[in-house]
Structure 1
Amino acid sequence: MKGLVIVSHGLLAAGMLDSAKLFLGSELPQVKACCLKADDSPEAFGDQIQQAIDEVNTGEGAIVFADLFGGTPFNQTLPLLSDQIDCIAGINFAMLLEYLSKRTFEEVDLPSIVQGGQQNIIEAKGYLSTLTLDDDD
């Protein structure tokens, strides 16, 4: 099973991991959160990401979920990419839950994780306007 490192500005990564535990249980193996603080240097944060990857990678590799494309957490992940290390930027909670729930049982297709995350982004009023009511109500 591939390890997972969630990286973000502020405490978003830790909060997402904490919320995932409500759905999937408190024991999520091979998962770490790295939270960039205002006083962290980019280089020190890159070292923190590398250490987290090393901790969750048991030989099958790791995936880094970053909060924002082009931000420091994403940018500090780029030099760490390899045949075994992947990164997805723009993480949302639906993507995280889908990945964590599938990774134990199957090889996870990263493009499908991205697609699932995109499909969970809706504007509520627009969505509700597409629903039709049953005439029998």
Structure 2
Amino acid sequence: MIGILLITHGTFGESLIQNVCHVLNKRPPLIGQLGVAAQDDLLDVLPMAELLLKEVDQGEGVLILTDVFGATPANLGLKLLSPGRVEGIAGVNLPMLLRALTYRDRGMSILLQKAVSGGHDGVINMRQH
């Protein structure tokens, strides 16, 4: 099973996990989160991110989900990437996380595709439905 690590601003990642627990009625295994504050220095939080990455990695890799590309959480995630083993997606939302949890037993390439499509497909103009 591929682990999932959320690296987000503040408590956003923990809030996403709490909502997933509500939807699934349980806490999924191999999921972790790191909240980054505006004043945090990348090099100061990197060791904690590396530790959390190891905690959710069961040997099949880890998908890092961050909130905003170009911001500190995503920049931290970029430092952890390792092609095929540790991959990352920016723009996390609840539909993306739920899709990622559903497909993480299918391999990294399928997981990446399904997570991105879940995030994209979860954004809907409600007046057009």
TM-score (norm 1): 0.84
Residues paired across the two proteins, number: 126
Compared CA separation, residues 76 and 63, structure 1 to 2 (3 A): same
Counterpart of 1:119 (choices 95, 118, 121) is 121
Larger mean Cα displacement after TM superposition, 17-26 or 2-11: 17-26
Q: Which residue of 2 aligns with 1:66?
A: 66
Greater mean deviation of Cα atoms: 47-56 or 86-95: 47-56
Match of 2:16 in 1: 16
Indicate conservation of the 8 Å contact 1:24/1:101, yes or no: no
CA positional deviation for 1:79: 1.9
| Cα deviation 1:78-127 (Å, max 9, x = unaligned) | 121113100000111101011112324x33511232122111112222x1
Q: What's the offset of the Cα at 1:77?
A: 1.3
Unmatched 5+ residue regions in structure 2?
none
Give 1:42 deviation, angstroms: 1.9
> Rg bigger for which structure?
1
Structure 2 length normalisation: TM-score? 0.88
Q: Residue in 2 aligned with 1:131?
A: none
Q: 1:72: Cα distance to partner?
A: 0.5
Task: Kindly provide the CA deviation profile for residues 23-62 of structure 1, in whole angstroms up to 9, marking residues without a partner as x.
Answer: 1233311100110123422222222221110111111111
Could you tell me whether the CA contact under 8 Å between 2:32 and 2:56 is conserved in 1?
yes
Aligned equivalents of 1:75 and 1:96: distance in 2? 20
Runs of 4+ aligned structure 1 residues displaced above 3 Å come to none
Identity %: 29
Q: Which residue of 2 aligns with 1:3?
A: 3
Uncovered stretches (5+) of structure 1, i.e. residues with no partner: 129-137
